[in-house]
Structures are given as structure tokens and as C-alpha cells.
Amino acid sequence: MIVKTSDRYPSKRTAAKETPMAGKDAGETGRIEGKNAVIEAFRAERPINKIYIEKNMNDPVLKKIYANARERGIVITFLDKDKLDRMSVTRGHQGVIAEAAAVDYVDISDIVKTAETAGHPPLILILDGITDPNNLGAIIRTAECAGVDGIILPKKRSALLSPVVAKVAAGAAEHIPISKVTNLTRVINDLKKSGFWIIGADMQGETIYYEYDYLHPTAIVIGSEGNGISRLVKENCDILVRIPLYGKINSLNAATAAALIVFQAARKREEAGYRH
């Protein structure tokens, strides 16, 4: 499969192959918990098989979900709160749990194509070793809000797209394409050959994150809180950027670091006239 970037954007390499793993991952469920997550699943037209709603509901949002489910012909079951509590994985169901089709992973080439159709250089987030589902959910939510075109996860050393991730993401996972790959280093090199610049977030980075322009086709790499970006991935980054820290703590939460960088990229692109 060929990943191409448009000649309209600065490019330094020729196109090359990459091999993402599309489809569903074993162990990941299609369960959605929480009001916002279910509403966004409706908006994204995600197939939902059944919805469980707390009995004796007076919440206007739950009533809206009930009405929407009826219009769509979805099977609705009313349960006592204690039964919903026992079903819940997130412990924060907010009175509604949906059983939906599992999220499909996409090819990286589809992410690139969608960005170029929208008229801006692709902006992709690569997550290297984000194993905490709360962090993954927060990053997905931030990325969608910042207009990131897609997220790449490794098959190993990554949290699954679980109900916890979906709940923390507050429905954002319904709207941002996600690709899962077997080898991040290989994919990074394929992206580089197709014109992407790979920007790694690292405490020892030579460039402060707000000094980079992010106007090329760009993939931003965020590593785990404990170990940062893995050695091989770091060696294949074009530029390492750092976030200046002024307090006594020497590191940021991975989701916070991702938020600072992707919103800076969004600001630079908006100033340059690229709109999402």
C-alpha cells in the first residue's frame, strides 16, 4: 500500500509502502458507557445492537438517548442501578450502557487521503507505549479536539480500545481514525519516505515545542510516562522537541504533553491558513 503526500506541501522523500493492521483486535469490545460516549456513537452512525438504561430515569440526556434509540430501532432494556453497576467496566456508566459493533481500525493511507482531501497537510499522532487506558482516552479526546487527522498505535505495548478508554475519550474515538500496526519503526520510516517529518516529544529534545512550525505533513510521537519514546523509535525521529518545565517535577503526564504539542501544531497551521 502506498502512502502519498501532496506536492503542495514541503516534502523531502519519495513515497514508500507501509503495512498497518486494519480491522478489530481480539480482546477489544464494543461496549460503550456514559452519556456523552453513547451520544457521539449515535452521531458517528456506529451500529448499536442494544442499550441498557437505568430505570426511573429523570435525566433529560438519558431521555434523549432513549428517544434516539427508539427512532433507530435499537433494543432497549431498563435495569436497576445496581444491575448496571455490576455490568459496568468503567464504574461510571451514568445510567446508560450500549452494546455496539467493535471499532474498526483503518489503514494509514486512508488517514492521509482524508487530510489531503480537506486541504491541509496531514497531522498524525503516534503513541509509543501508552498502556494506561485513562491516558489513552484523554489523548484521543485531545487529538480529536485539536483536529489531528488520525492516531497510530502499536499492536503491542498499548492499551486496548476498551470501555474505559471510550468513556474517558467522551465519544472522541467515534470521530478520529485509529490505525494499529505491528512495527512502529517500520511505519515511521515509510512515512518519512512519503514526505512526513517525524517529531518526537522528549525531555532532552534540541527544539522547544513551540519553535517548530508543524506545517509539513507531520507525525508527532508521544512516549510512555515511565520510559518515554523507545530507543529505535527515537533514533528514527527527525526532530526531538521538549516542553520547558519550571517547577520541581521533571516530567509531564503523557496526555498533558500531547495536548500542549498538538494544540500548538493546530495554532501554527491556523495561522498559516490551513483549516479543518
Three-state SS string over 155-182 comes to CCCCCCCCHHHHHHHCCHHHCCCEEEEC
**Residue 276 included in any domain:** no
Burial class for 31, CB neighbours closer than 10 Å (0-12, 13-18, 19+)? buried
- The mean-pLDDT minimum among 80-84, 132-136, 168-172 falls in 168-172
Same domain, 147 and 196: yes
Same domain, 111 and 156: yes
Same domain, 203 and 90: no
Radius of gyration over every alpha carbon of the chain, rounded to an integer in angstroms: 20
**Residue 39 included in any domain:** yes
Parent domain of 149:
2-23+104-271
What angle (nearest 5°) sits at the alpha carbon of residue 131, between those of residues 46 and 255? 80
* Cell numbers describing residue 152: 497510530
CB 69 within 8 A of CB 41: no
- The mean-pLDDT minimum among 33-47, 119-133, 184-198 falls in 33-47
Same domain, 193 and 264: yes
Residue 12's pLDDT band (cuts 50, 70, 90):
very low
Same domain, 6 and 131: yes
Residues 96-106: tens digit of each pLDDT: 999 887 777 88
Predicted structure pTM score:
0.76
